[in-house]
Amino acid sequence: MIALDTNVLARAIVAEADADAATRRQQRDARALLSSGADLFVPLTVAQELEWMLRSVYEMPPADIADLFDDLLAVENVTVDRAAAVGQAVDGYRRGLDFSDALHHALSGACAGFATFDAGFIKRARRLGLKPPVAASGN
């Protein structure tokens, strides 16, 4: 099994029209690896960083990022670390949560509550009826 770094996934995903020769070579290599049939592993931290990179560096719309994660989770030879939590985070992301907040929450499912000072996250989590409940620390 081969673990993938964020930059390999990004090179395979993003088409950069003005890419230099080195970037084009990396794109070819990344796409070749992903289509090779080799068993691949996406660490949880890479999934989180990939969302950030696609959104903030490449300005990809959240709906496209969510669709991309759905596709990645469905690839037979790709194992995504904590796939169920990533899938739950993608669902929360589609419903208006920040991806990292949704992922943190998805990984906290066995807890009685989720404490944060992020008022926006609290409001969105309450609107969505998330369990465990999200509340301000100390409440």
User: Using one digit for the tens of pLDDT, what is the confidence trace for 28-51?
Assistant: 999 999 999 999 999 999 999 999
- 62 and 130 inside one domain: no
Q: Indicate whether 61 and 27 sit together in one domain.
A: yes
Residues 69, 137 within the same domain: no
Tell me: do 60 and 122 sit in the same domain.
no
pLDDT of amino acid 19: 87
Domain count, the chain: 2
For 125, the domain range is 109-139
Could you tell me the pTM of the whole model?
A: 0.92
* Whether residue 75 sits in one domain with residue 17: yes
Question: Do 55 and 38 belong together in one domain?
Answer: yes
Q: Are residues 94 and 115 in the same domain?
A: no
For residue 138, the model assigns a pLDDT of 67
Is 53 in contact with 17 (CB distance < 8 Å)? no
Show the tokens assigned to 35: 């289509």
Q: Domain check: are 88 and 129 in the same one?
A: no
Same domain, 103 and 114: no
Element (H, E) at 3: strand 2-3
Coil, strand or helix at 132: coil
Judge if 74 and 90 occupy the same domain: yes
65 and 36 both lie in a single domain:
yes
**pLDDT higher than threshold 90 for residue 137:** no
Mark whether 89 and 135 lie in a shared domain: no
pLDDT tens for each residue of 76-133: 999 999 999 999 999 999 999 999 999 999 999 899 999 999 999 999 999 999 999 9
Yes or no: say if 97 and 124 are a contact pair by the CB < 8 Å rule: yes
Given 3-state DSSP classes, what are the helix, strand and coil percentages for the chain, each rounded to the nearest 5?
Answer: 55, 10, 35
